[in-house]
Structure 1
Amino acid sequence: MQTRRHFVQAAATLTAAAGFAPFSAHASPLEQVKIIYGFPAGSAGDICARRVGDKMGGTAYSKNNAIVETKAGAGGRIALETLKMAPTDGSVIAMTPFSCMSLYPHIYKKLAYDPFADFVSVGTASMIHHGLAVGPLVPASVKTVQDFLAWARANPKDASYGSPAAGSTPHFIGALLGLNNQVELKHVPYRGSVPGVTDVVGGQLAAMVTPHGDFIPNHKAGKLRILATSGKQRSPFVPEVPTFAEQGFADLTVEEWFGFCAPAKTPAAVVAAANAAINAAIKDKSVIESLTVVGLIPYGGSADDMATSQKRELERWGPLIKKIGFTAES
């Protein structure tokens, strides 16, 4: 729970500091804000967007609670393509995982948006730890990542893993696990986490890599086993599960955030007001509880923090995706 407290306390500090920021002297609250989200309603990210949006009303950013508009499809690209064309007054923002900003430029030869030129970072809201889980197709004696790799070598016909989408961060975590350990792991892409988790539980698929919150109910029920999580520290939701790094796979340490962005040329005062509203929302008890249910960790910070992280992840993943050899056309 220390990790979560750290993030929430950081958000509280930022929010308190924001009270002295000068944006209130230069910008009036917007009447209505719309949040665009590029993945299905009911998903963990959608819940994050809605709970944060519910707390934006009555702030220096917006008079009313934000409305969330789902524009699912194309791995989140449709939502960002829509945002690119939106007004630059802060009335339309989007929430996205970092993959859409930092991985896609390495995957798509023709991306309809420039993550850095077309948008301005507003701030992060939550953090995802991904997980590797196995189901009944894999013997109960497999309890660690090394055990799974040994089993995969001995059972190449069944040595596969699912992910919520081709080109997603979980896809690449699984690919690197196989490549870096000379084990052939067949990738099975799904349309979201739920169908893949269902196949793991049903014994049709050996393993899955996806946000670990999607595993937790079945893990606690004994229907599958989470072997590792991708955070720098153990997940506060399954503290009994060691990280990849603890098991000797530090290269698979990945903490993916959900962050808000606005169209380029959105006034700095509006961005500051939106950032303060986000940071205040994620220290609200009801928001924290809603995020916890879906395995998300509140994670605040400044707009500059998000922009810096986005650039850092872009630089990190370029050579890794080249090593994997994946493109949208492959």
Structure 2
Amino acid sequence: MTDPRGPATSLKELLDWLKSRPSPPTAGTAGAGSGSHIAAVYFENVSGIKLQYVPYRGTAPALNDLIAGQIDLIVDQTSNSINQIRAGTIRAYAITDDKRLRSAPDIPTAEEAGLKGFNMTLWSGMWVPKGTPKEIVTKLNAAAVEALNDPGVRKQLESQGLEMTPKDQLTPEALGTRQKAEIAKWWPMIKAANIKVD
């Protein structure tokens, strides 16, 4: 995402503009180890474009500086920025998911926009202490799935640009499998970039 007054109107134009700069473009993050920081490191790895990170204490001040033209871009989750995108105060170039969002169907995926291999989604899960009895885990999971399938809850989450996990993946076993796969994907990159949370 960038300030809409910038020279790029597509992801390809943005990549060309970022590559042409004499010094590394500035990328706002919500702080060390945040989703926006890791996404920007991933963007560097996939695009080959070196960024200069500007850490903030959260996304809101980073977005304020993006809107003001103080930084060049942010690679961040849609739920943080969808209102500014809709208002036209920032420009979104691509979604890093493998499919377009129902709440923002006009924004292409990174693959569609020409940046192959740039796929990342932020997700949430619920954990309980190790050793929690299985019947309690099952009961908590059933309550969470019921809440997530409430039409009002779904509508609210989707309006914020959040996509729901398919119902068959809303199990403790599926969450454990996903967590292990995500650790295997992201941990080597986090270590290579020497990302440490303050």
TM-score by length of 1: 0.55
- SS at structure 2 position matched to 1:161: strand
- Residue 55 of structure 2 is aligned to residue 189 of structure 1: yes
Instruction: Tell me which residue corresponds to 1:304.
Output: 173
Per chain length, whose mean CA-contact separation is higher, i.e. which structure has more relative contact order (CA < 8 Å, sep 6+)?
1
**Alignment deviations for residues 224-259 of structure 1 (CA, whole Å, 9 cap, x no partner):** 110111111011111111111223334321122111
Counterpart-to-counterpart distance in 2, 1:172 and 1:145: 19
Counterpart-to-counterpart distance in 2, 1:237 and 1:282: 17
Aligned partner (choices 135, 139, 142) of residue 3 of structure 2: 135
CA change 1:250–1:266 in 2 (3 A) is farther
Aligned length: 195
Amino acid at match of 2:186: W
- SS at structure 2 position matched to 1:273: helix
Higher strand share: 1
Amino acid at match of 2:44: G
Instruction: Tell me which residue corresponds to 1:66.
Output: none
Unaligned runs of 5+ in 2: none
Higher Rg of the two aligned structures: 1
**Structure 2 matches for 1:64-103, cutoff 5 A?**
none
**Structure 2 matches for 1:235-274, cutoff 5 A?**
235-274=101-140
- SS at structure 2 position matched to 1:305: helix
Instruction: Tell me which residue corresponds to 1:173.
Output: 39
Counterpart-to-counterpart distance in 1, 2:90 and 2:26: 15
Deviation at 1:328, TM superposition (A): 4.1
Counterpart-to-counterpart distance in 2, 1:252 and 1:170: 14
CA change 1:252–1:258 in 2 (3 A) is same
- SS at structure 2 position matched to 1:197: helix
Counterpart-to-counterpart distance in 1, 2:139 and 2:69: 49
Aligned partner (choices 12, 16, 19) of residue 146 of structure 1: 12
Amino acid at match of 1:213: S
Is the contact between residue 177 and residue 252 of structure 1 (CA under 8 Å) also seen in structure 2?
Answer: yes
Counterpart-to-counterpart distance in 1, 2:143 and 2:81: 31
Aligned partner (choices 197, 206, 210) of residue 76 of structure 2: 210
**Structure 2 matches for 1:212-227, cutoff 5 A?**
212-227=78-93
**Alignment deviations for residues 197-245 of structure 1 (CA, whole Å, 9 cap, x no partner):** 1111111111111111222222122211101111110111111111112
Q: Decide which moves more: 190-199 or 248-257.
A: 248-257
Amino acid at match of 2:108: P
Percent identity over the alignment is: 28
- Residue 187 of structure 2 is aligned to residue 318 of structure 1: yes
**Alignment deviations for residues 171-197 of structure 1 (CA, whole Å, 9 cap, x no partner):** 122122223333221111222211111
Instruction: Tell me which residue corresponds to 1:199.
Output: 65
CA change 1:180–1:255 in 2 (3 A) is closer
Amino acid at match of 1:271: V
Amino acid at match of 1:246: E
Amino acid at match of 1:286: G
Is the contact between residue 136 and residue 202 of structure 1 (CA under 8 Å) also seen in structure 2?
Answer: no
Deviation at 1:155, TM superposition (A): 2.4
Counterpart-to-counterpart distance in 2, 1:178 and 1:148: 13
Deviation at 1:160, TM superposition (A): 1.2
Q: Give the superposed CA RMSD.
A: 1.9
**Alignment deviations for residues 269-316 of structure 1 (CA, whole Å, 9 cap, x no partner):** 000011111111111112112212322222241000000000010111
Unaligned runs of 5+ in 1: 1-132
- Residue 97 of structure 2 is aligned to residue 228 of structure 1: no
